[in-house]
Amino acid sequence: MKAKSKDPLFEFLIVGALITGAVFAFAPNSAASIPVAKPIDKPKPTIEPVLPSYVVPSGKTQTLVTGLRAPWELLFLPDGQALVDERDSGTILQISKDYSTQKVAFTSTTPPCVKFCEGGTLGMAYAADRPDGKLSLFVFLTTLTDNRILKYDLDSSEDLWSLSNKRVLFSGIDRSGLSTTHNGGRLAIGPDGKLWVSLGDAGMRGSTSQNWNRLAGSILRLNLDGSIPEDNPREDSPVWAKGLRDTQGMAWDNFGNMWTTEFGQDTWDELNLMQKGKNYGWPIAEGKYKFAETPLPQGNPGSDNQGTAESPAPTPNIPTMPSDKELFNDSRYTNPYFTWHPEDAACSGISFVRGSLISACLRGGKLWIMPVLGDKKLGEPQAFLTGTFGRIRKATLAPDGSLWIITSNKDGRGGWSQGGEKAQDDRVIRVELKTVYY
C-alpha cells in the first residue's frame, strides 16, 4: 500500500494555514490585519484629571441686599449666612438665607473723622480658636486715637448670630490726623492659621512705611491671641513686610502665594506678590518707577486716589508728581507684579476663587481677574463689570459657588450713577461665575 504522500513542504503549509486561520478566528478584529501584541492595560483613573481653568462672571447678576452704606467686608459663616459691616456707622449685619438683614452689633458709635474718611469699621475675619470649635470674630477699627483690632466671641442660636465678650486684641497702630487716610484695614486668617493685617502709611510716607519699628506701612502677622509669632522676620515684631502705601486686599492662591492690592499716589496702583521680610518700595518707588517725592503738606496728608470717574479724587495740597519717567530697579526693594493707573483700578479687596485672583476696584468700578497659571505665575488681567455697579469694595466666594460683591458708592467719594441716577444706597450683588479652560 502506497503510503500517502507526506511531503514535508505540503504538511508545513497545511499546518501553517490552520494555525493562521485559528489565530484570525480568535482575533478580536479578525477582518483587520496581522495581529499585534497588545500592551498590558493600565488601570483606568477613577478621578478625571482637573483641566487648567479659572472663573469669570457669566453675565448673570442679581441684587440681593439694598440700603447699605459703605460696606467694607463681607464674610460667609459656616452655616452659609453672611456678615457685612458698614465703615461709617460701625454696624455689623447678618445677611440671612432669605437675604434679609439683622443688626448683630455696633463696633463704635463714634465716627473717627468728619470728611474724606477712609477709616472706620473696616476688615473682619473669624477663626475657630475657642473650646469646642467655637468662633471668634476679629474686627479692624479706626478710633479717634489709633487703628486697632477688636476680638469678640461669635455665636449663633436658632440661625441668629451674636457678638459678645468684646476686647481689644491689638492697639496703637498709627492713624493719620484729620481724615484717617491710608489705614489699610483688611484682616485675614492665612493658610498658616495666623491673623494677617494689611496697613497703610497713615499719611506719613517713608517715616512709617520705611521704618521697621513703626507698624503703619506694613503687613502684620499675629497669633490669634494677639501675641507675636516666633517665625516672623524680625524677633518680637509683628511686622512681616514693609514699604506699603495703602494695602486693602490680601489673598492666597492654590500654590500658597500671597497677593496684595495697593493704592498708589498718583500714577500707579499695584498688585504685589508678598514675601517674608521684603520691602515693597513706597515712597522710593510708585509702581515700577522711581517716585519723585516732594515734601508732605501740612495738615491733611492726602488720601488715596480713589475718586470716581466723574469726581476727581480729593487730594488737595498734594501736587501731581510725574513718576513714570525712570524705571526703578533696586535689589533692596521688591517691584509689583502688575500695575494699573488709578482711574482704571484703585482696587480694595482681593479674593482667590477657583483659579482666579479677583480684585474689586473702587475708582475703576470693575473687577480685575487674573488667572493663576502656575507657581508665582499669573495670566494677563481681564476686566469685568466695568461701570455696571459703580465702586466695588470686595468680592467674596459664596457657598453656592457664585461671587457676592459689595458696592461702595456711599463712601463719600461722589458716588457713581446707577441707571443714570446717583446711587442712593450700597448693595450686595450676586455675580454668577463660569469656568474658562485654557
Which stretches of the chain bind Ca ion, using CB under 5 A?
A: 280-281
Pick the closer one to Ca ion by CB: 281 or 414.
281
**3-state class (DSSP) for residue 227:** coil
Quote the least distance from Cβ 417 to Ca ion, whole Å.
Answer: 33
- Give 280 or 416: the residue with its C-beta nearer to Ca ion: 280
In angstroms, rounded to a whole number, what is the distance separating the alpha carbons of residues 71 and 68?
7
Nearer to Ca ion, 116 or 268 (CB): 268
334 near 342, Cβ under 8 Å? no
Minimum distance from residue 128 beta carbon to Ca ion (Å): 34
Question: Quick check: 370 and 271 in contact, CB under 8 A?
Answer: yes
State the minimum distance, in angstroms, from the CB of residue 273 to Ca ion.
11
Nearer to Ca ion, 24 or 328 (CB): 328
Work out the end-to-end distance of the chain between its first and last CA atoms, rounded to an integer number of angstroms: 83
Distance between CA atoms of residues 218 and 247, nearest Å: 8
Contact 359, 377 (CB under 8 A): no
For residue 419, the 8-state DSSP code is T
Furthest-apart CA pair in the chain: how many Å? 133
In the complex, least distance from residue 354 CB atom to Ca ion, rounded to whole angstroms: 28
Alpha-carbon gap, residue 78 to 374, rounded angstroms: 30
Nearer to Ca ion, 138 or 280 (CB): 280
Minimum CB–partner distance for residue 276 and Ca ion (Å): 16
9 membership: H or E segment, kind and range: helix 8-26
Q: Minimum distance from CB of 260 to Ca ion (Å)? A: 10
In the complex, the smallest distance separating the C-beta of residue 348 from Ca ion, rounded to whole angstroms, is 17
Residue 168's Cβ-side half-sphere holds a number of Cα atoms within 13 Å equal to 11
Q: Which is nearer to Ca ion, 142 or 272 (CB)?
A: 272
Do 388 and 401 contact (CB within 8 A), yes or no? no
Asked whether 327 and 307 are in contact (CB, 8 A), the reply is no
Is the CB of 279 or the CB of 351 nearer to Ca ion? 279
Do 328 and 290 contact (CB within 8 A), yes or no?
Answer: yes
Query: Residue 219 in contact with residue 273, Cβ under 8 Å?
Result: no
Q: Distance (Å, rounded) from C-alpha 359 to C-alpha 230?
A: 31
Closer CB to Ca ion, 54 or 280, in the complex: 280
For Ca ion, the closer of residues 134 and 376 by Cβ is 376
Q: Which is nearer to Ca ion, 359 or 408 (CB)?
A: 359
**Distance between CA atoms of residues 269 and 340, nearest Å:** 5
User: What is the closest distance, in whole angstroms, from the C-beta atom of residue 261 to Ca ion in the complex?
Assistant: 11
For the bound state, the minimum distance from the C-beta of residue 426 to Ca ion, rounded and expressed in Å, comes to 29
CB of residue 187 to Ca ion, shortest distance in Å: 21
As measured in angstroms, the least distance from the Cβ of 376 to Ca ion is 17
> Do the beta carbons of residue 365 and residue 390 sit within 8 Å?
yes
C-alpha cell at 72: 467694607
Q: How would you classify the pairing of strands 366-374 and 377-378?
A: antiparallel
Backbone angles phi, psi at 169, to 5 degrees: -85, -40
Q: Which is nearer to Ca ion, 175 or 245 (CB)?
A: 245
Q: What is the DSSP letter of 191?
A: T
Q: Which helix (H) or strand (E) holds 160?
A: strand 160-173
